[in-house]
Every structure is written in C-alpha cells, then in structure tokens.
C-alpha cells in the first residue's frame, strides 16, 4: 500500500510539474505576442503632390499631336489641353494659396493615415490570430492532462476507500 501511495505522490508531483511548465509556456506565448514582428513591415509613405502628373500629361499631349491629322485627334488634344490647364492652375493656385495647399496636404495625410490604419489592423489581426491559436492548443493540451490527472486521482481515491473498508474489516476481525 505504501508503494502505491508513493507512486501516487510521484505521479501527482510529475503532473504538477508538467502543468507548471505548460502554464509558464502559455505565459511566454502571451508575452511573446508583443515581441513578434508586429509592425515591422509597415511603411510610411507621406508624399505631397503638386497636382501635375507629368507622365500622363506628356503621353496625352504626344498622342494628341500624333493624331493631329484626324478630327478625332483634335477633340482628344482639346480634352488633354483642358486637363493640363486644370493641373497647371491647381499647381499655381497651391503656390499662392496656403489654405489650398494645406487642404491638399490634409487630404494626402488622411489617405496615408487610412492606409496605415488598414496595415496596422492587418498586422494586429495576424499577430493575435497566431497567438490565440497557440494559446488555444496549449490550453486544450493542459485541460486534457488535468482531466487525466483528475481521473487518476478518482481511481486512486476509490481504491483507497476500498482498502480502508478492508482494513476496517480486518481490524474488527482481529479484535
């Protein structure tokens, strides 16, 4: 009987040790979420435009000039000229009107901040999903081990109760 009690004590202490190790591992995983690569792939692009897209403007004017012989090309050239004129007016207006320039900068910053927010949200979701998955697996593993330990304890307890009854009968028969 003392051998069984020693085995029981050894088993319980081993399981408690494993349980402690698993809990420590869960805590490391939880604290490891803050030290992941969260935010390392973020890129800040704050670019303030003057309002003129030179590549598009040049391509439009060249294509309009190449189609100069065709009346449809004249319409295309007129549309490109109006677009270029609007771009130039916006750029010149931005030079002289600080409010217009600030408004354009506000729009650019707002757009960049929305992109940054979306990027941060995606990064956080990836990091939290990975951490939750790991923690859930470890928690289920711990729960299985605790359930097995509880069942073993129940079995040993019932055996001990049975032994107590036998010992009581033996004690009564001796006395």
**CB 52, CB 91: distance < 8 Å:** yes
Beta strands in 12-126 (DSSP E): none
Mean pLDDT of 129-136: 84
Q: Which residue has the tokens 């320039």?
A: 101
Q: Is 39 helix (H, G, I), strand (E, B) or coil?
A: coil
What share of the chain in percent tops pLDDT 70? 74
DSSP string for 88-155 = HHHHHHHHH-HHHHHHHHHHHHHHHHHHHHHHHHHHHHHHHHHHHHHHHHHHHHHHHHHHHHHHHHHH
Q: How far apart are CA 62 and CA 77, in angstroms?
A: 9
Confidence class of residue 128 from pLDDT cuts 50, 70 and 90? Answer: confident
Report pLDDT digits (tens) over 143-160: 888 888 888 889 888 988
Q: Residue 64's pLDDT is what?
A: 63
Instruction: Indicate the burial class of 94 (C-beta count within 10 angstroms; 0-12, 13-18, 19 or more).
Output: buried
Q: What are phi and psi of 99, to 5 degrees?
A: -65, -40
Q: Residue 175's pLDDT is what?
A: 75
**pLDDT at residue 4 greater than cutoff 60:** yes
Q: How far apart are CA 86 and CA 11, in angstroms?
A: 83
Report pLDDT digits (tens) over 52-83: 566 666 766 666 666 667 777 777 777 777 87
Confidence class of residue 123 from pLDDT cuts 50, 70 and 90? Answer: confident
Confidence class of residue 102 from pLDDT cuts 50, 70 and 90? Answer: confident
In this prediction the pTM is: 0.40
Dihedral sign (CA 64, 66, 68, 72): negative
Mean pLDDT of 80-88: 77
């Amino acid at each position: 009987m003392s051998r069984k009690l020693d085995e029981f004590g050894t088993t319980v202490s081993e399981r408690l040790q494993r349980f402690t190790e698993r809990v420590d591992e869960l805590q490391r995983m939880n604290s490891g979420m803050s030290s992941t690569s969260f935010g390392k792939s973020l890129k800040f692009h704050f670019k303030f435009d003057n309002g003129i897209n030179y590549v598009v403007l040049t391509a439009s004017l060249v294509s309009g000039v190449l189609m100069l012989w065709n009346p449809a090309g004249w319409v295309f050239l007129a549309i490109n000229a109006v677009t270029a004129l609007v771009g130039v007016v916006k750029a010149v207006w931005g030079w002289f009107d600080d409010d217009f320039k600030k408004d354009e900068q506000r729009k650019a910053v707002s757009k960049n901040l929305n992109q940054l927010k979306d990027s941060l949200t995606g990064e956080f979701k990836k990091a939290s999903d990975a951490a939750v998955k790991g923690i859930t697996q470890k928690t289920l593993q711990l729960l299985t081990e605790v359930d097995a330990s509880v069942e073993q304890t129940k079995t040993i307890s019932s055996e001990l109760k049975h032994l107590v009854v036998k010992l009581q009968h033996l004690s009564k028969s001796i006395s």
